Copies of this chain bind each other. A is one copy, B any other.
Amino acid sequence: MRLATLKRGGRDGTLVAVARDGTRVAPVTGFPTLQSALDTWDAAQDALAAATEAAETGEAVAAEDFAAPLPRAWQWLDGSAFPTHGDLMQTAFNLPPIETTKPLMYQGMSHRFIAPTDDVALPSEADGIDFEGEFGVVTGDVPMGVSATDALDHIRLIVLINDWSLRTLAPAEMKTGFGWVQAKPACSAAPFAVTPDELGTAWADGRVCLPLTVEVDGTWFGHPSGRAMAYGFHELVAHAAATRDLPAGTIIGSGTVSNAEHATVGSTCISERRAIEMIAGGKPETGFLRFGTRVAMRAGPFGAIDQRVVRA
């Protein structure tokens, strides 16, 4: 099943099921928003199945009609589960490995996820504007202390996210130990939130085993696979829920998708490419984004993020 949210309706948009071709949709009777369906997921299954069938002959919509699947969410926790990304960053900046025996995770802003084709307004090119291609999962209600094994059953949907980052602001915030506020503005999301079964064998061990393709102004930037996570999403959910209940609609991110084969598969953020350039040649070659640049991301059945960065 693929679900999406149209911009029409209130701040949370309007939930629809999506046809196989990704252009036709149908509303979900009794569940006006994706959050309302997540709040009572089991009760929503019949309506979601009926809407999925109706979508095949449903209303045709344009890419611009889609909001993010959850235009706002009660919680966004972002991991950093691809070890290659961390290793490259620490090596390039001559820093020791981050000491931890647990998954890395920070609490991010969740009150806004930008629609897949909307402009992304940021205050200054001097902030080092960068993208990060990530997979994420949307949970149901998760009880505090859940095991990783049980956590798998609380994963309702899988999403594709661009976690916009302001690199000039990030190191100073990271050095305080408090995590990021100014360096992490709103994320963008691809239009389709997908049930795990929809991925078939590409959903394995709590990982999305699909390439995530990034293009900048139409030029290939990378297509590493989501398979290479050191921790699966079920382990990230269990980590997040160690001392708190998670509400339905919590989104948990994988962190920047990154593979050891970066020489051939590229990267999903500029910062990592710059790190590779620094390690190879002593200095970064690729600049951060300028206003007017387009960034596109796509993977499997999630549809495309395709946006322009503009001055706020």
Contact = CB atoms under 8 A, between A and B. Distances in A.
Interface of A: 72, 74-75, 77, 80, 98-100, 102, 104-112, 121-123, 127, 144-145, 166, 169, 172, 174-186, 239-240, 242-245, 247, 250, 312
Given A100-B176, A145-B123, A244-B186, A181 B106 contact: yes
Given A72-B74, A176-B100, A244-B185, A108 B110 contact: no
A99 B185 CA distance: 22
A176 to B, nearest CB: 5
A123 B243 contact: yes
Given A74-B72, A75-B111, A106 B178 contact: yes
Contacts of A99: 172, 175-176
Copies of this chain, whole number: 2
B177 A174 contact: yes
A173 to B, nearest CB: 8
B242 A123 contact: yes
Contacts of A244: 109, 112, 185-186
Nearest to A186: B244
B75 A109 contact: yes
A142 to B, nearest CB: 12
Given A74-B72, A247-B112, A179 B182 contact: no
A182 B106 CA distance: 10
Most chain B CB within a 10 A radius of its CB, from A107, A111, A181: A181
Contact of A181 (B77, B112, B180, B245): B77
B75 A176 contact: no
Given A112-B245, A177-B98, A179-B178, A144 B123 contact: yes
Given A74-B72, A178-B179, A179-B178, A106 B109 contact: no
Contacts of A98: 175-177
Given A109-B107, A144-B123, A182 B242 contact: yes
B123 A181 contact: no
A111 B145 contact: no
Given A144-B312, A243-B166, A180 B179 contact: yes
Given A74-B110, A144-B312, A239 B123 contact: no
Nearest to A76: B107
A100 B185 contact: no
A111 B100 CA distance: 26
18 contacts: A72-B74, A75-B110, A80-B178, A100-B172, A104-B176, A105-B178, A107-B109, A107-B179, A111-B247, A112-B244, A112-B245, A121-B144, A123-B144, A144-B312, A175-B177, A177-B177, A181-B239, A182-B243
